[in-house]
Amino acid sequence: MTTIEQAKAFATRAHAGQTRKGAGAEPYVIHLEEVADLVARHGGSEAAIIAAWLHDTVEDCDTTAADIETHFGPKIAAIVAQLTDDKSLEKAERKRMQIVNAAGKLPEAALVKICDKLSNIRAVGETPPLHWPQARQLAYLDWAETVVAALPAGADPARAAFARQLAASRAQARARA
């Protein structure tokens, strides 16, 4: 089994039973698979693809940064750490800190972050959370754009894909008025 396959298996176990917020309540692992695929399609290294699979495990599961380091090494742990929100903070502060911390991301973390936001804005456009009114959908899209804009330069193909999806998701959200 490759390290990427190990990361996929680890993330699948960690996120077992979790679902997305959209109407379809699809298994959360679908999001991870999409992010990993986007990272690969946009030229991500093996480390970036592994981190894409693992990017939400510390934040959303019963997994620690030490678990990631033990199973995948310090480089992957460092990338995942840069993708993990501090859940001890209020939600608004976590969102603000994503913008504040964006400029200091490692290139692999920046690519995963762009692809994560790309997946999230696609979901907001196509299958938004049922309890999110149009204003909240549009506010999320604006915030995601701010986070991506604050990331260090690079990953231009992923940024272009993000911009295209952002326009499409805004149009979809506005059409639901």
Which residue type occupies 56? D
**Please, where are the H alpha helices in the chain?**
3-14, 29-41, 46-54, 57-60, 65-72, 74-82, 91-102, 107-126, 134-150, 156-175
> What distances in angstroms separate CA 12 from CA 8, 88, 107, one per listed residue?
6, 24, 25
| The one catalytic residue among 46, 59, 85, 126 | 59
Any idea of the CA torsion for 9, 15, 19, 20, to the nearest 10 degrees? -90
- First-to-last alpha carbon distance for the chain, in angstroms, is 48
Active site residue 108: no
Q: CA 80 to CA 62: how far, in whole Å?
A: 15
Active site residue 59: yes
Q: CA 18 to CA 28: how far, in whole Å?
A: 5
Q: How far is CA 132 from the centre of its chain?
A: 19
| The one catalytic residue among 33, 37, 46, 60 | 60
Residues annotated as part of the active site: 59-60
